[in-house]
């Protein structure tokens, strides 16, 4: 039986007829990716571009995985989008795991004996995690909080005890974790380290990506607070009043934030962070005046002195007697910037 194949084209109306006797089977003996057809230089450039999509913050250093220690890494899922975060915690973080939009779970361990399973921190459509605040006491991760591209903050899971650290990367969204765990003598495995894996191809610009965090100064004990939740993604909120209670140490601090959006002057006063001891002091800022520096002294237990400076060259009085030996600390951002929120430990 003779078969005729007819080929035609809209652009070239000529019809070509081939009989089956002119056909020739060509077996496929190997399949290769299209990238492998490129030159070595182009392949190297594409690999470099693909690698640049991801980053570990803080930089990944591979420590020895010792006896009763484990590590979980989500790099294989880093091209996916996070839908929710699941945690189990007490005053320690037992486990952290992710669920992606396709329903797949992360590589992170999602079970534990201690603590309580918290309600999932679920992201809405188009919302991504852009900051991770965690506290480390030298051995264990004690608390963690997430901030999203919508300016939304999660609850503080665990407690802010230890040294707080911000994990974020300019222009990046959280795509996964690299998590270290270690066997606790009582509570099974607990988290000892968390690194974010960040992607740079999801958003053209991440809100608040140019904000700068100072180093942390002060003690590593007490109750933590974070005013970042009040700020959200606002670029119009600023500190307009500071109230301090102090004696031989800083007993408490309280802020009033003003919002100049749409010509309004809405004010939000935080709760008092700290105790009711000491003498009350107030430092009120005028129109166009912003806090640009904080200086003081601290020791291993408390902050003993505080002083605030503004873009107009004005300074508050020095709060606290500072009689105890302490370390001098300062944070200055320059007159073109302002300090708009604080995260501090209080007793």
What tens digit of pLDDT does each residue of 256-266 get? 999 888 777 88
Asked if 190 and 274 sit in the same domain, the reply is: no
Mean pLDDT of 57-63: 60
Average pLDDT along the chain: 82
Distance CA 120, CA 110 (A): 12
Asked if 165 and 93 sit in the same domain, the reply is: yes
- Give domain status of residue 228, yes or no: yes
- Give domain status of residue 100, yes or no: yes
Number of other residues whose CB lies within 10 A of the CB of residue 132: 23
- Give domain status of residue 27, yes or no: no
Q: How confident is the model at residue 336 (pLDDT cuts 50, 70, 90)?
A: very low
Among 153-167, 205-219, 248-262, 274-288, the range scoring the smallest mean pLDDT is 205-219
Question: Which pLDDT score, from 0 to 100, does residue 85 have?
Answer: 96
Asked if 130 and 268 sit in the same domain, the reply is: no
Number of other residues whose CB lies within 10 A of the CB of residue 90: 16
Asked if 276 and 296 sit in the same domain, the reply is: yes
Asked if 203 and 247 sit in the same domain, the reply is: no
Among 105-119, 254-268, 327-341, the range scoring the smallest mean pLDDT is 327-341
pTM of the predicted model, to two decimals? 0.77
Among 8-22, 97-111, 229-243, 263-277, the range scoring the smallest mean pLDDT is 8-22
Asked if 190 and 230 sit in the same domain, the reply is: no
- Give domain status of residue 25, yes or no: no
Domain end residue (candidates: 210, 234, 253): 210
User: Over the range 157-191, which residues count as b (16 or more CB within 10 Å of their CB) and which as e?
Assistant: bbbbbbbbbebbbebbbbbbbbbbbbebeeeebbb
| Chain centroid to CA 71 | 20
Domain end residue (candidates: 157, 191, 210): 210
Q: Is 99 left (phi over 0), alpha (psi -120 to 50) or beta?
A: beta
Asked if 170 and 218 sit in the same domain, the reply is: no
Q: How confident is the model at residue 30 (pLDDT cuts 50, 70, 90)?
A: confident
Asked if 67 and 190 sit in the same domain, the reply is: yes
Place of tokens 């699941």: 86
Query: Which of 219-233, 236-250, 261-275 is predicted most confidently?
Result: 236-250
Asked if 191 and 275 sit in the same domain, the reply is: no
Range of the domain at 225: 211-347
For the domain that residue 302 is a member of, what is the CATH number? 2.100.10.30
The structural domain count of the chain equals: 2
- Give domain status of residue 20, yes or no: no
Comparing C-alpha atoms, which of 135, 109, 134 is closest to residue 188? 109
Domain end residue (candidates: 210, 230, 246): 210
Continuous segment of H or E residues that includes residue 187: none
Question: Which pLDDT score, from 0 to 100, does residue 338 have?
Answer: 46
Q: How confident is the model at residue 346 (pLDDT cuts 50, 70, 90)?
A: very low
Is 303 in a helix, a strand, or coil? strand
Asked if 127 and 199 sit in the same domain, the reply is: yes
Q: What's the chain's length in residues?
A: 347
Asked if 215 and 85 sit in the same domain, the reply is: no
- Give domain status of residue 189, yes or no: yes
Among 35-44, 64-73, 323-332, the range scoring the smallest mean pLDDT is 323-332
Tokens of 13: 């109306």
Q: How confident is the model at residue 112 (pLDDT cuts 50, 70, 90)?
A: low
CB 164 within 8 A of CB 228: no
Asked if 144 and 268 sit in the same domain, the reply is: no
Distance CA 229, CA 147 (A): 8
DSSP class of residue 20 equals G
Distance CA 143, CA 182 (A): 16
- Give domain status of residue 42, yes or no: no
- Give domain status of residue 327, yes or no: yes
Q: How confident is the model at residue 321 (pLDDT cuts 50, 70, 90)?
A: confident
Is 290 in a helix, a strand, or coil? coil
Comparing C-alpha atoms, which of 5, 193, 1, 176 is closest to residue 74? 176
């Amino acid at each position: 039986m003779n078969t005729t194949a007819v080929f035609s084209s809209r652009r070239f109306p000529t019809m070509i007829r081939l009989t089956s006797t002119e056909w020739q089977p060509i077996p496929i003996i190997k399949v290769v990716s299209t990238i492998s057809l490129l030159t070595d230089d182009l392949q190297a450039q594409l690999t470099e571009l693909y690698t640049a999509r991801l980053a570990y913050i803080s930089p990944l250093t591979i420590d020895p995985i010792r006896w009763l220690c484990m590590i979980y890494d989500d790099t294989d899922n880093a091209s996916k989008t996070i839908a929710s975060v699941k945690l189990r915690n007490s005053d320690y973080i037992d486990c952290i795991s992710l669920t992606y939009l396709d329903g797949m779970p992360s590589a992170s361990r999602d079970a534990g004996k201690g603590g309580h399973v918290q309600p999932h921190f679920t992201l809405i459509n188009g919302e991504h995690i852009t900051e991770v605040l965690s506290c480390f006491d030298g051995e264990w991760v004690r608390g963690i909080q997430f901030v999203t591209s919508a300016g939304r903050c999660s609850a503080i899971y665990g407690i802010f005890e230890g040294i707080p650290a911000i994990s974020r990367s300019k222009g990046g969204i959280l795509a996964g974790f690299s998590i270290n765990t270690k066997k606790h003598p009582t509570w099974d495995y607990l988290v000892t380290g968390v690194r974010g894996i960040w992607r740079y191809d999801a958003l053209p610009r991440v809100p608040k990506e140019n904000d700068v965090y100072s180093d942390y100064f002060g003690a590593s004990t007490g109750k933590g607070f974070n005013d970042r939740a009040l700020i959200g993604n606002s670029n119009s909120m600023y500190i307009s009043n500071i109230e301090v209670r102090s004696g031989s140490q800083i007993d408490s601090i309280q802020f009033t934030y003003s919002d100049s959006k749409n010509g309004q002057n809405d004010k939000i006063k935080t709760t008092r962070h700290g105790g009711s001891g000491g003498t009350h002091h107030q430092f009120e800022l005028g129109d166009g005046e912003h806090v640009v520096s904080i200086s003081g002294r601290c020791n291993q237990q408390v902050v003993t002195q505080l002083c605030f400076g503004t873009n107009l060259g004005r300074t508050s009085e020095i709060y606290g007697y500072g009689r105890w030996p302490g370390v001098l600390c300062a944070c200055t951002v320059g007159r073109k910037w302002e300090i708009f929120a604080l995260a501090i430990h209080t007793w």
